[in-house]
Chains A and B, each alone.
Chain A
Amino acid sequence: EVQLVESGGGLARPGRSLILSCEASGFKFENYAMHWVRQAPGKGLEWVAGISWGSGNIAYGDSVKGRFTISRDNTRNSLYLHMNRLRTEDTALYYCAKPRTATPGVLDFWGQGVLVTVSS
């Protein structure tokens, strides 16, 4: 059974940092690209970042480029999101998502999400 479990969320002050983790199980993690997607309160889904299976191809949404870093450790079946210089508008529920095998952008399984609140 595929499982994605996010952790590391919480309250952070503007300008500070936070690291999110996503532990994967039930599939061969090292063979899949992975993604972070967020949803701010009352807003829509926003694609945040994606990373290829071997970390050779990485991309970010415009609103987090230069502040967030996505990474992975295939030996630990884990995905990470290092969030620096946090802003109040980064407050959101952050989802880790796995794509379908042959279509790296199509997200067929999602974690339950981890809440990040940025407030002074």
Chain B
Amino acid sequence: DFQMTQSPSSVSASVGDRVTITCRASQDITSSLAWYQKTPGKAPKLLVYGASILQSGVPSRFTGSGFGTYFTLTISGLQPEDFASYYCQQTHIFPYTFGQGTKLEIK
């Protein structure tokens, strides 16, 4: 199975900051990588797929990049609603494993 490793596991930042989360795959997954946002009490929300394609309706301050085994999600100009947990997921092959998550907290 493909293992997905995210870092950091948690990060503190302020409104207006820029934050980057990384995700590494144990094997080459080309661009088959998605990012989700999870806030307590809500269902997960798709942010990015195909490593860099922004899902419709997602603000442009979210940027995904990467290919192969190394990927990043960058949030520029943090807004209060962005403080949540973020998960990467490989969508290359079954089982579609998630990373362990990154919790973005307010400093």
Which residues of A line the B interface, CB within 8 A?
35, 37, 39, 44-47, 50, 57, 59-62, 95, 97, 100, 103-108, 110-113
Contact = CB atoms under 8 A, between A and B. Distances in A.
Interface in B10-59: 32, 34, 36, 38, 43-44, 46, 49-50, 55
Nearest to B48: A106
A107 B34 contact: yes
A103 B49 contact: yes
B98 interface: yes
A39 B40 CA distance: 11
Interface of B: 1, 32, 34, 36, 38, 43-44, 46, 49-50, 55, 85, 87, 89-92, 94-101
- Across the A-B interface, the 8 shortest Cβ-Cβ residue pairs: A105-B91, A59-B94, A110-B43, A44-B101, A106-B49, A105-B96, A45-B98, A47-B96
A61 B50 CA distance: 22
B34 A106 contact: yes
Contact of B94 (A50, A97, A100, A106): A50
Contacts of B44: 37, 45, 95, 97, 107, 110
Contacts, number: 68
Contacts of B100: 44
A105 B88 CA distance: 12
B102 to A, nearest CB: 9
A104 B90 CA distance: 11
A95 B95 contact: no
A46 B38 CA distance: 13
Given A35-B96, A105-B90, 14 more contacts: A44-B87, A44-B100, A44-B101, A45-B44, A46-B98, A47-B97, A50-B94, A60-B95, A62-B95, A100-B49, A103-B91, A104-B91, A106-B91, A108-B55
